[in-house]
Copies of this chain bind each other. A is one copy, B any other.
Amino acid sequence: MSLASQSFAEKVEPREGAGNEGVKRFKAPYLIYFGDIELTGYAKTGLGLIEWRRNLCIGQYRTPQCSIDSGLPDMTIEEAVQAGVGSFVIGVAPAGGYIPDRWLQDLVKAARAGLDIISGMHARLTDFPEIVEAALASGARLFDVRTPPADLPLGTGAKRTGKRLLTVGTDCAVGKKYTALAIEKEMQARRWKADFRATGQTGVMIAGAGFAIDCVVADFLSGAAELISPAADDDHWDVIEGQGALSHPSFAGVSLGLLHGSQPDALVLCHDPTRVYNLGTERKQPYPLHSLQETIEANLLMARRVNPDARFVGMSVNTSQLPLSEKPALFERLSAETGLPVIDPIKDGAKLIVDRIEKEFLL
- Residues of B close to A126: CB separation below 8 A: 2
Complex interface residues of chain A between 149 and 182 (CB less than 8 A to chain B): 154-159
Check A218 against B257 for contact (C-beta < 8 Å).
yes
CB–CB B155/A249 < 8 A: yes
A7 to B219, CA, bound (A): 27
The quantity of this chain's copies bound in the complex is 2
Given contacts A5-B4, A215-B218, A219-B214, contact A252 B260 (CB under 8 A): yes
A174 and B29 CA atoms in complex are apart in Å by 53
Please give, as numbers and ranges, the residues of chain B lying within 8 Å of A302 by CB-CB distance. Answer: 246, 252, 298
A128-157 vs B, Cβ < 8 Å mask (1 yes, 0 no): 010000000000000000000000001111
Residues A158 and B2 in contact, CB atoms below 8 Å apart: no
Q: How many angstroms between the C-alpha atoms of A246 and B246 in the bound complex?
A: 12
Instruction: Specify which chain B residues have a CB less than 8 angstroms from the CB of A247 in the assembled complex.
Output: 305
Q: Which residue in B3, B9, B215, B278 is a CB contact (below 8 Å) of A217? A: B215
The reply to whether A157 and B223 contact each other, CB–CB distance below 8 Å, is no
Contacts of A129 in B (CB 8 A): 3
Nearest to A301 among chain B residues (CB) is B298
Q: Does A127 contact B (CB under 8 A)?
A: yes
Q: From residue A307, how far is it (CB to closest CB) to chain B in Å?
A: 10
Question: A interface, how many residues as a size bin?
Answer: 35 or more
- A222 within 8 A of partner (CB): yes
Does B4 lie within 8 Å of A253, measured CB to CB?
Answer: no
A216 partner, pick from B8, B218, B260, beta carbons under 8 A: B218
Q: A216 CA to B253 CA in the complex, in Å? A: 11
- Give every chain B residue within 8 A of A246 (Cβ-Cβ): 256, 302
Name which residue of chain B comes closest to A247, CB basis.
Answer: B305
Q: Which of B1, B223, B301 contacts A2 (CB 8 A)?
A: B1
Q: A260 touching B249 by the CB < 8 A rule?
A: yes
Chain B nearest CB, measured from A220 CB (Å): 8
Q: Which residue of B lies closest to A2 (CB)?
A: B5
Q: How far is the CA of A119 from the CA of B229 in the complex (A)?
A: 35
Bitwise interface map of A from 1 to 23 toward B, beta carbon under 8 Å scored 1, else 0 = 11111001100000000000000
What is the CA–CA distance of A284 and B231 in the complex, to the nearest angstrom?
A: 14
Min Cβ gap A133→B in Å is 14
Q: Knowing that A2-B2, A216-B218 are A-B contacts, what are 20 other residue pairs whose CB atoms are under 8 Å apart, sorted by A's residue number?
A: A2-B127, A3-B129, A4-B5, A156-B280, A156-B284, A157-B278, A158-B284, A214-B218, A215-B217, A216-B217, A222-B252, A222-B253, A246-B256, A249-B306, A252-B260, A252-B302, A253-B253, A253-B256, A253-B257, A254-B257
* A–B complex contacts, Cβ < 8 Å, 6 sampled: A154-B280, A155-B251, A156-B249, A246-B256, A249-B305, A287-B305
